[in-house]
Structure 1
């Protein structure tokens, strides 16, 4: 059975072709959900047309549109987390806030679709909105090494109010910047965020 399932077509195994089609679908989902002028109605027809795949291939990887939307969000979020973690790996407590925010802003500025998906107010897909709330814990964990004294959990593992305030405030600010509600360069945005967080005692060396 394994040999049959992995038989080659044009030198490419079945599992690899399924993985390639899944990647095409995720890319299509980011293109659709990350477009502020895009169609708010996420349909199977729209997804498969964008991916240039027959609709039957959708069900190789996803059971329905909600699972698909969640997977697109997680895929985009993982890219942000991976690249920011890479930058933070060599950061110190002194500069961790700036390094982390700089990388976060760079990722969403270089691919605005990711920024729109994760932070823009234009996003109305119910699954994505719910995933944004869930992602708070992910962003808290991302910065916890540099901001451990500010974001430390209590005895039962709950994050403090400050962590939700910080993550929510940064997310709202990034959304406003993406939407053009605030006119700042990338570096000005980073500087302002670092200064605002420092004003609340977050990321300061003496905090």
Structure 2
């Protein structure tokens, strides 16, 4: 026979609390709060991505999410906090798409370049709300509201491109500080093209935009390859 543990006042109190939490559609209070937070995030993507951060109020977000304003402040202190949360979520999604495409490409550097850039541009064109939030509103929010996290997060693209350069040219014998600066330059180049493309509502064909982005990566590949060949030649001569 299984021995039953004595029911203490504390145990009974805990049980009552758990039962109370699960009175609404089988969800606990914590689960309901998380569900409301997710609804606010999705509403924010829809509203900010359609109208722009500065044209959207907390009330607009709540109307879109079909929640009262008190639930907004349950999860976020202010609009900028929701925007930052959305920005981080979208950046993660964009970076994952790009890195997955690069890793699935063949070892040919040119094919890796095309795969990464195609994944970036395709993701933006297929998700215009994401594109607007990342490449238009985030820049303005960062500048006007001193959102250091947005600046730091955009720097992750520098590091991603640096990792890509090392993956593309695994035998590259260049100082890390040089590769880091080059990665920052590449990021800035592609970012400015992306901003122009997004602001024009994707009027130029993706083929043209891809070609423009590809040029600088191919030039880098050629320049570094020539340096490596010259280095190997000099080393052979000295030997």
Name the TM-score class by shorter chain: 0.7 to 0.9
The yes-or-no answer on 1:206 pairing with 2:221 is: no
Query: What residue number does 1:31 align with?
Result: 46
Show CA shifts across 1:142-178 (max 9, x none): 2333212599744xxx973222221111111011111
Select which of 102, 118, 122 maps to 1:102. Answer: 118
Query: What residue number does 2:9 align with?
Result: none
Structure 1: gaps of 5 or more residues: none
The alpha carbon displacement at 1:56 in A equals 1.2
Q: Is the 8 A contact 1:136 1:168 kept in 2?
A: no
How big is the alpha-carbon RMSD for the aligned residues of Structure 1 and Structure 2? 3.2
Is the radius of gyration larger for structure 1 or structure 2? Answer: 2
Cα distance 1:193–1:23, how it changes in 2: closer, same or farther (>3 A)?
Answer: same
Query: What residue number does 2:24 align with?
Result: 9
Structure (1/2) with the larger helix percentage: 2
Cα distance 1:183–1:204, how it changes in 2: closer, same or farther (>3 A)?
Answer: farther
The yes-or-no answer on 1:117 pairing with 2:137 is: no
The yes-or-no answer on 1:55 pairing with 2:73 is: no
Higher relative contact order (CA 8 A, sep 6+): 1
The alpha carbon displacement at 1:187 in A equals 2.4
Show CA shifts across 1:3-34 (max 9, x none): 36852521333333222211111112112222
The yes-or-no answer on 1:73 pairing with 2:92 is: no
The alpha carbon displacement at 1:38 in A equals 4.2
Residue correspondences, number: 202
Select which of 152, 161, 175 maps to 2:195. Answer: 175
Select which of 160, 169, 188 maps to 2:208. Answer: 188
Q: Is the 8 A contact 1:69 1:128 kept in 2?
A: no
TM, length-normalised to structure 1: 0.80
TM, length-normalised to structure 2: 0.71
Cα distance 1:182–1:16, how it changes in 2: closer, same or farther (>3 A)?
Answer: closer
Cα distance 1:101–1:4, how it changes in 2: closer, same or farther (>3 A)?
Answer: farther
